[in-house]
Structure 1
Amino acid sequence: MVQQPEIQDIYPLSFMQEGMLFHSLLDQESRAYFEQASFTINGSLDTERFQKSLDALIERYDIFRTAFIHKNVVKPRQVVLKERQIRLQFVDISHLDEAAKETFVDHFKHDDKKKGFDLQTDPLMRVSILKRAHEQYHCIWSHHHILMDGWCFGIVMKEFLAIYKALGKGQLPDFEPVQPFSKYIKWLMRQDRKEAEAFWKTRLVDVKQTASLPKTSSSSKGKLEQMAFTISKEQTERLRKLALKADATLNTVFQALWGIILQKINRCDDAVFGSVISGRPSDLEDVEKMVGLFINTIPVRVKSGPESFLTLVSRLQQESLKAEAYSYYPLYDIQAQSTLKHELFDHIVVFENIPAQREIESLNQADAFDFTVDHFDMEEVTNYGCSIKIIPGSSLYIRINFDIGLYDPAMMKKIELYLRHIIGSVIADPNQQIAQIALLGEETAKKMLYEFNQTELAAPLAPTLHSFFTRRAALSPNMPALRFSGGILTYRELDQYTNQLAIRLRKKGVAKE
Structure 2
Amino acid sequence: MLMLLNELKKNHVAVWACENKLKLAFTGETPPVQLIDRVKEKRENILDLLNERNIFSEEDFKHFTFSENHAGSDGPATSSGNNIEMIFPATSLQQGFIYHYLAQPQDDAYRVQLLLDYHTHMDLAVYQQAWSLASLRFPILRTAFDWEGEILQIITAGSSIGPTNFTTLDITQSPEEDRNKAIKAIQQNDRNLPFDLNQPGLIRFTFIKQGERLITVLITLHHCIIDGWSYPILLQAVHEYYNQLIKGQIPQVVVEQAYLATQQYHLDHKAESEAYWAEYKAQFQGANDLSALLSHQTDLTQIKAVEKPAEQILTIQGSIYEQLKDTCRTQGVTLNVVLQFAWHKLLHLYTGDDQTIVGTTVSGRDVPVEGIESSVGLYINTLPLMVQWNKANSIISVLEDIQKDIAALNSHSAVSLVSLQPDGESLFHSLLVFENYPSPAAHENQEGIENTLTFRQGIEKTDYPLSLMGYEQDDSLVIKLGYGEDWLADKHALRLLRQLERILHAVACDPHQPHTSIMFLSEEERHTLLHTWNQTDAPYPQDKILQQLFEAQVEITPNDVALVFEGEMLTYRQLNERTNQLANTLREHYQQRNAPLQAGTLIALYLDRSLEMVISILAVLKAGGAYVPISPEYPAERVNFILQDTRTSCVLTQQHHLAALAAYTRPFAEQPALLATDDQTITAGQSVENPAPINKPTDLAYIIYTSGTTGQPKGVMIEHKNVAHLAAAQIKILDITKRKKALMFAAYVFDGTVFELLSNLVNGLTTYICSETERNAPAVEKLIQREGIEIAILPPVILKLLNGA
TM range (shorter): 0.7 to 0.9
1:64-102 per-residue CA deviation (whole Å, 9 max, x = no partner) reads 12221224x554442414242333321111001134322
- Cα gap change, 1:505 to 1:85, in 2 (>3 Å): closer
- Number of paired residues? 468
| One-letter identity of the residue aligned with 1:236 | Y
> How many Å separate the matches in 2 of 1:485 and 1:284?
57
C-alpha deviation, 1:465, in angstroms: 4.8
Q: Which residue of 321, 325, 336 corresponds with 2:407?
A: 321
Indicate the residue corresponding to 1:368 in structure 2: 448
Q: Which residue of 363, 375, 378 corresponds with 1:290?
A: 375
C-alpha deviation, 1:43, in angstroms: 2.3
Q: Which residue of 350, 359, 362 corresponds with 1:277?
A: 362
Equivalent residues of 2:306, 2:463 under 8 A apart: no
- Cα gap change, 1:172 to 1:346, in 2 (>3 Å): farther
> How many Å separate the matches in 2 of 1:296 and 1:165?
34
Indicate the residue corresponding to 1:35 in structure 2: 112
Indicate the residue corresponding to 1:166 in structure 2: 244
> How many Å separate the matches in 1 of 2:119 and 2:444?
10
Matched, 1:189 2:275: no
Q: Which residue of 109, 130, 138 corresponds with 1:61?
A: 138
Equivalent residues of 1:309, 1:432 under 8 A apart: yes
Q: Which residue of 767, 788, 798 corresponds with 1:503?
A: 788
| One-letter identity of the residue aligned with 2:453 | V
Equivalent residues of 2:83, 2:157 under 8 A apart: yes
- Cα gap change, 1:343 to 1:464, in 2 (>3 Å): farther
- Unaligned regions of 5+ residues in structure 2, if any? 1-78, 536-729, 737-749, 753-776, 792-805
Equivalent residues of 1:364, 1:372 under 8 A apart: no
> How many Å separate the matches in 2 of 1:325 and 1:50?
37
Indicate the residue corresponding to 2:471 in structure 1: 391
| One-letter identity of the residue aligned with 1:348 | L
Matched, 1:247 2:247: no
Matched, 1:224 2:309: yes
C-alpha deviation, 1:173, in angstroms: 4.3
Indicate the residue corresponding to 1:408 in structure 2: 489
| One-letter identity of the residue aligned with 1:383 | D
Q: Which residue of 404, 413, 420 corresponds with 1:334?
A: 420
Equivalent residues of 2:208, 2:217 under 8 A apart: yes
SS at match of 1:127: strand
| One-letter identity of the residue aligned with 1:127 | F
SS at match of 1:146: helix
1:13-47 per-residue CA deviation (whole Å, 9 max, x = no partner) reads 12221121111111111112111011222222221
- Cα gap change, 1:166 to 1:211, in 2 (>3 Å): same
1:351-398 per-residue CA deviation (whole Å, 9 max, x = no partner) reads 11244xx33x84699443496222432211233222211112421111
- Cα gap change, 1:201 to 1:409, in 2 (>3 Å): farther
- Cα gap change, 1:196 to 1:65, in 2 (>3 Å): closer
Equivalent residues of 2:203, 2:222 under 8 A apart: yes
- Cα gap change, 1:500 to 1:442, in 2 (>3 Å): farther
C-alpha deviation, 1:111, in angstroms: 0.9
Q: Which has the higher contact order (CA 8 A, sep 6+)?
A: 1
Matched, 1:200 2:292: no
Matched, 1:426 2:507: yes
Indicate the residue corresponding to 1:49 in structure 2: 126
Equivalent residues of 1:466, 1:498 under 8 A apart: no
> How many Å separate the matches in 1 of 2:313 and 2:446?
30
> How many Å separate the matches in 2 of 1:297 and 1:485?
39
> How many Å separate the matches in 2 of 1:502 and 1:466?
19
| One-letter identity of the residue aligned with 2:167 | Q
Matched, 1:439 2:520: yes
Q: Which residue of 134, 149, 173 corresponds with 1:95?
A: 173
| One-letter identity of the residue aligned with 1:291 | V
1:223-278 per-residue CA deviation (whole Å, 9 max, x = no partner) reads 21122221114322222222233322221121111111110011223211011001
C-alpha deviation, 1:497, in angstroms: 11
Equivalent residues of 1:39, 1:140 under 8 A apart: yes
SS at match of 2:313: strand
- Cα gap change, 1:175 to 1:242, in 2 (>3 Å): farther
Q: Which residue of 300, 314, 318 corresponds with 2:385?
A: 300
Larger mean CA deviation between 10-19 and 77-86 belongs to 77-86
| One-letter identity of the residue aligned with 1:126 | R
RMSD of equivalent CA atoms: 3.3
Equivalent residues of 1:273, 1:346 under 8 A apart: yes
> How many Å separate the matches in 2 of 1:304 and 1:6?
53
SS at match of 1:261: helix
Equivalent residues of 1:38, 1:140 under 8 A apart: yes
SS at match of 1:5: coil
Indicate the residue corresponding to 1:351 in structure 2: 434
C-alpha deviation, 1:399, in angstroms: 1.4
Structure with bigger gyration radius = 2
> How many Å separate the matches in 2 of 1:178 and 1:293?
14
Indicate the residue corresponding to 1:86 in structure 2: 162
SS at match of 1:440: coil
1:436-456 per-residue CA deviation (whole Å, 9 max, x = no partner) reads 1122133453268778799xx
1:121-149 per-residue CA deviation (whole Å, 9 max, x = no partner) reads 36310111101123122111110011111
- Unaligned regions of 5+ residues in structure 1, if any? 455-461, 469-483, 487-492, 507-513
> How many Å separate the matches in 2 of 1:290 and 1:212?
38
| One-letter identity of the residue aligned with 1:121 | Q
C-alpha deviation, 1:282, in angstroms: 2.8
Equivalent residues of 1:8, 1:82 under 8 A apart: no
1:421-446 per-residue CA deviation (whole Å, 9 max, x = no partner) reads 11122222222211111221334532
Equivalent residues of 1:10, 1:79 under 8 A apart: yes
C-alpha deviation, 1:110, in angstroms: 0.7
Indicate the residue corresponding to 1:15 in structure 2: 92
| One-letter identity of the residue aligned with 1:92 | D
> How many Å separate the matches in 1 of 2:342 and 2:401?
13
Indicate the residue corresponding to 1:379 in structure 2: 459
C-alpha deviation, 1:113, in angstroms: 0.6
Equivalent residues of 1:179, 1:289 under 8 A apart: no
> How many Å separate the matches in 1 of 2:495 and 2:340?
18
- Cα gap change, 1:500 to 1:45, in 2 (>3 Å): same
SS at match of 1:283: coil
Indicate the residue corresponding to 1:480 in structure 2: none
| One-letter identity of the residue aligned with 1:404 | E
Equivalent residues of 1:44, 1:370 under 8 A apart: no
> How many Å separate the matches in 1 of 2:401 and 2:478?
25
| One-letter identity of the residue aligned with 1:388 | L
Indicate the residue corresponding to 2:214 in structure 1: 136
Q: What percent of counterpart residues are identical? A: 23
> How many Å separate the matches in 1 of 2:307 and 2:185?
18
> How many Å separate the matches in 1 of 2:140 and 2:246?
26
> How many Å separate the matches in 2 of 1:378 and 1:238?
30
Q: With the length of structure 2 as denominator, give the TM-score of the two structures.
A: 0.54
> How many Å separate the matches in 1 of 2:118 and 2:405?
44
- Cα gap change, 1:208 to 1:11, in 2 (>3 Å): closer
> How many Å separate the matches in 2 of 1:329 and 1:202?
13
Equivalent residues of 2:143, 2:199 under 8 A apart: no
| One-letter identity of the residue aligned with 1:387 | S
> How many Å separate the matches in 1 of 2:787 and 2:328?
55
> How many Å separate the matches in 1 of 2:378 and 2:482?
22
SS at match of 1:9: strand
> How many Å separate the matches in 1 of 2:247 and 2:260?
33
> How many Å separate the matches in 2 of 1:226 and 1:498?
43
- Cα gap change, 1:24 to 1:451, in 2 (>3 Å): farther
> How many Å separate the matches in 1 of 2:418 and 2:381?
11
Indicate the residue corresponding to 1:153 in structure 2: 231
| One-letter identity of the residue aligned with 1:119 | L
